[in-house]
Structure 1
Amino acid sequence: MFEWVVGVLVGAVLLAALARRVGAPYPAFLALGGVVLAVMPGVPNLRLDPELALTLFLAPVLVDAGYGTSLRDMRINWRPIAGLAVGAVAATTVAVAIVVKLLVADIPISAAIVLGAIVAPPDAVAALSVLAHVPLPHRLTTILRGESLLNDAASLLIYRLGVTAAATGHFTLSEVAPAFLLGVVGSLIAGPVFARLYLWSIRWVPDPASSIILQFAAAFGVWIAAEAAGLSAVLTVVTFAVTVARYSPERTAPRPRVLSYAVWETAIFVLNVMAFVLIGNQIGPIIERLHADQHLSHALVAGSVLLTVVLVRIAWVLPASGIRRMGFAAKARVPKGESSDLGDAFRKGIAAGGREPPDLGPGAGFAVSWAGMRGLVTIAGALALPESGPNGGFPYRDLIVLTAFTVVLGTLVIQGLTLRPLLAWLKLEDTDPVGHEVGWGRAEAYGAAISSLEGDDSDIAKALRREFRLVVEEAEEHEEGLAPEKLPADDARRRAIQAARERVLALRRTGEIGDDAFFILEQEFDWTELSATPRAET
């Protein structure tokens, strides 16, 4: 088993490297790897307790996504985000349930709804891994990130209700509505409370390794506590992560923060690998259990659900984006005799004062509609269905798992591999609002740095003031007040560091310094070089 785990991880690294080379989302290649495992003979039987699946896979993913969410940008784009995260999820769930019920007459409606909720939420990891290789308007990236953060909550709430209805055999809205609303409200309160407790605790844990372990313990602990209290674990974890992201930067030292980013990125990758391995491990036995006359019927259901998922998203996004464009055109129209400044501001997408920026056109709507790849959340939901219980396993569990994997594989391969050329063909333009804010913020930051050195007449302070002033002066000469990415001495600093590295390596080779001293110096050079290296070159 250990040999298989090591081999799978190495194989996943190679698949991810191949995906990066061709500009495809690495989950698409992991899905293909899951297919290979499903048909490969001699694969060990890897099993996961279904009750553990959602906690293990979703808690860290939601914390990671919530931490990187911009509340300001989400407020500006709340309408399209809400439309996708709630409206599109509900529409997809209903459409899939209807299609499955028409094809499989004796499937319980609760099981059909559960399948719809499982395949409804798109996966941000898959979409953003493509978008990282293609310039895309920041607003679209914000919408896709916000959708992925909130649609998990909407779909899993429906999922939980469907699983409960299937287990109890009945479901009435009047019975569950009060507890449902109480759980939602309680989650929105509990998440920030847990975040405050976590932020208080990290003051006593300065060690990077210990603080990173505490981060993962908090992610899993908040989920488990929310489940035990009858709250929505998804909403609780999301509000926890957003609150922590808001207040932790001023309480976290640089070294633990840099290290934690690397660890979390690795953890999310490993979780994706584990999910596709586990789902692939279940597909083989499911296919073997099917009778010969069931192969065609199951393939028909899986293919129909895949087609429904793709078409419903397109049918939801494109008309909605068209309506929004017409509404915006009305808002941007300037009455006769009035200044056109307001209309120009709207047309240029200025979002000052919280105004919503304009729609980016039909191309952007089609890009969003095609960026609906399913991934980790869908797999986790399928794996979490009970395999056994007092009344047996979940109704039609094999069909649901097989269909969920087909949707994940189909959307990742079909949409994931074509999204990059589609975006290149659409040629969506962006004014780079993040880059402008970075440049303006950098100028303000260096201005504050100069002010902090006033009154210090030491040679070092004078040298720093001179270097920072050059940056501020360049920003003042820039037509938009943006500071350059590099400090004036960065190139010289990197050349000096490289010379220092070569000298220390030579001392190590001749035995004049030992390995302990070498590694300390190497770390010092690494941090100095990172501070002198633009973000794009790291």
Structure 2
Amino acid sequence: MHSVELFELIVGMFLAVLVLRYAALRLRMPPAVALLLGGGALAFVPGLPTVELDPELVLVIFLPPLLMDGAWFTALAPFRRHLGGITSLAVGAVLFTAAVVAVAAKLILPELPWAACVALGAIVSPPDAVSARAVLQRVKLPRRLGTLLEGESLLNDATGLVLFRFAVAAAATGAFSLGEAVGSFAVLVGGGIAVGSAIGAAWVLLLRRLGDDQLMIAASVLVCWASYLAGEALHASGVIATVTAGLVCGWYQHVILTASVRIRALSFWQVMISLLEAAVFILIGLSLRGVIDRVGGFGVVLEDMAWSVAAIVAAMTLARFAWIFGSDAVLTFLHGAGWRGAEPLGPRAACVMSWAGMRGVVTLAVALSLPETIPGRDLMLVTAFAVILLTVLVQGMTLGLVIRLAGLREGERSRPSLDLFAAEVAMIKAQFAEVERKAYAADGSLLHPRLLDSYRRRATLSAEFLGSPEERAQSIAAHYDVILAAIAAGRAELVRLHRARQIDDETLHDLERDLDLEELIAIAAKG
């Protein structure tokens, strides 16, 4: 394909992304579903070239920023508190699912070598960070479940990728060492943590010295690829390195980034992540044609592979249910035996956790990287694609319904010690104390009387408010509705003055920026 044609295809793909996301919005369906179906339909449009994905390139382009986005905004305290549960899902559940899938594949296809069966299990076992984010953003989960699922999606790729590499090597050489595999996994994880910590620390030191907003934003964006590539280059886990760097950067960004950088960087980052997520799903759909052509067409898939694929998908799904419900039963026993550190999920939460196992780009990229000589390669490719389609379409579209039917409620233990109102009161008191300290000159004369009165009034009103949370919410909404209406009136007047040539473009942009910031603050406060 000519380079210009490739660029035209990329532009066309992003135009299709806009159309499909708009359609998903109007149809009230998850965008991932619309993008996956739309990409699959576009793959068979006559005249469009077959999309051949380079697995390594796909992982390098898409995985680091999407992992970084999840890690950057991960709440570190709940992550640490639930690290045992996250590890159980990211390591235990992946290995157990891979083992169950391998056994099922061997029973269905006895001629398939054990190493190839394990490789298939490694391909389909880890739920995908991109798919999980795309679906979980549209549902409301209790904090503990959200932390477990997000943490699992950040770390489980490392387990699946290590298992896959050893399975493929065993299929090629006929030799496998469990001790070597465990040792290699420990080195990859430990090395990834070390590399990610170093990259995160370097980012903190660098941003303390950069004085330019654009340079700070650029450094914050590039840190995801820097950590991933550094981890892979040093034979550590790029996934773990990226997640670790993201956790470090997310922890320190509150004291490193200025308000200007934070607002501008967040806007840029959200658009970039949105486009990357959309591109992932539409590329998965577009690659369908290549996979079908490679195995001989839909007829071959339906006649020779359908039942085998369905059985493997069922085994994969049931394995996740078995691991989560089994783990929860162990926690229930330990809790009943008096160990207060063991807090079971309960059957309803366990059901939701079991159903939230969407697969995506990692599964497809790993499947496409299979050597041509490995036995059962065609079946693995079709199975990988079927797993992605079924989990995103079926589980992704019904997860919200499952959550509603489960009737999950936020547990008291997972709530923070201060609610929003109490935290706001504490913040305003600290602001008032600082203004009061600087409002007077050395001789005791008052320098800033209006500023002092303003902060005193805010502190008094916040501390003395006695209404219920519902009454407070109504009062805040009415208050900021007036502010937003005033901002709209001011914006309309600015435009009128500019159109009448009474103010120039520079004045318009300067005052409009002030109104934009004021509007963002009002919308955030109202919400």
- Residue in 1 that maps onto 2:505: 515
- Residue in 2 that maps onto 1:62: 67
The question of 1:145 aligning with 2:150 is answered yes
- Residue in 1 that maps onto 2:348: 363
Q: 1:183 to 1:132 in 2, by over 3 A?
A: closer
Distance 1:435 1:266 in 2: 33
Letter of the 2:318 counterpart: L
Distance 2:328 2:181 in 1: 34
2:390 to 410, 431, 434: 410
Q: 1:209 to 1:106 in 2, by over 3 A?
A: farther
Distance 2:58 2:173 in 1: 22
Distance 1:110 1:269 in 2: 37
Mapping for residues 199-238 of structure 1, pairs under 5 Å: 199-238=204-243
Secondary structure at 2:410's aligned position in 1? coil
Distance 1:71 1:398 in 2: 42
2:314 to 303, 307, 310: 307
Distance 1:191 1:370 in 2: 31
1:377 to 354, 362, 378: 362
Distance 2:177 2:221 in 1: 37
Q: 1:435 to 1:502 in 2, by over 3 A?
A: farther
The question of 1:12 aligning with 2:3 is answered no
Report the alpha carbon displacement of residue 395 of structure 1 after superposing the two structures with TM: 5.1
Cα displacement string for residues 23-56 of structure 1 (whole angstroms, at most 9, x for unaligned residues): 5432222221232133322222333433322211
Mapping for residues 243-262 of structure 1, pairs under 5 Å: 243-262=248-267
Q: 1:488 to 1:151 in 2, by over 3 A?
A: same
For normalisation by structure 2, the TM-score amounts to 0.86
Distance 2:309 2:509 in 1: 54
Q: 1:530 to 1:285 in 2, by over 3 A?
A: closer
Q: 1:227 to 1:134 in 2, by over 3 A?
A: closer
- Residue in 2 that maps onto 1:429: 409
Q: Tell whether the 8 Å contact from 1:50 to 1:386 is kept in structure 2 after alignment.
A: no
Structure 1 range deviating more: 143-152 or 31-40? 31-40
Q: Tell whether the 8 Å contact from 2:143 to 2:410 is kept in structure 1 after alignment.
A: yes
Q: 1:289 to 1:244 in 2, by over 3 A?
A: closer
Structure 1 range deviating more: 84-93 or 258-267? 258-267
Q: Tell whether the 8 Å contact from 1:468 to 1:487 is kept in structure 2 after alignment.
A: no
The question of 1:320 aligning with 2:327 is answered yes
Distance 1:63 1:472 in 2: 39
Letter of the 2:325 counterpart: L
Letter of the 1:446 counterpart: I
Secondary structure at 1:141's aligned position in 2? helix
Distance 1:366 1:526 in 2: 44
1:51 to 56, 59, 62: 56
The question of 1:84 aligning with 2:75 is answered no
Distance 1:174 1:94 in 2: 17
Structure 1 range deviating more: 2-11 or 235-244? 2-11
Q: 1:183 to 1:314 in 2, by over 3 A?
A: closer
The question of 1:531 aligning with 2:513 is answered no
How large is the Cα RMSD of the aligned pairs? 3.0
- Residue in 2 that maps onto 1:349: none
Letter of the 1:276 counterpart: F
Distance 2:381 2:429 in 1: 57
Q: 1:526 to 1:473 in 2, by over 3 A?
A: same
Q: 1:255 to 1:118 in 2, by over 3 A?
A: farther
Report the alpha carbon displacement of residue 302 of structure 1 after superposing the two structures with TM: 2.5
Secondary structure at 1:453's aligned position in 2? helix
Letter of the 1:369 counterpart: S
- Residue in 1 that maps onto 2:125: 120
Q: 1:244 to 1:294 in 2, by over 3 A?
A: closer
Secondary structure at 2:523's aligned position in 1? coil
Distance 1:396 1:213 in 2: 44
Cα displacement string for residues 453-481 of structure 1 (whole angstroms, at most 9, x for unaligned residues): 1141421232132123312332xx4799x
2:166 to 158, 161, 168: 161
Q: 1:294 to 1:499 in 2, by over 3 A?
A: closer
Q: 1:536 to 1:229 in 2, by over 3 A?
A: farther
Count of paired positions: 507
Q: 1:47 to 1:267 in 2, by over 3 A?
A: farther
Report the alpha carbon displacement of residue 169 of structure 1 after superposing the two structures with TM: 5.0
Q: 1:228 to 1:133 in 2, by over 3 A?
A: closer
Q: 1:487 to 1:159 in 2, by over 3 A?
A: same
Structure 1 range deviating more: 400-409 or 44-53? 44-53
Q: What residue ranges of structure 1 are gaps of 5+ in the alignment?
A: 333-345, 347-354
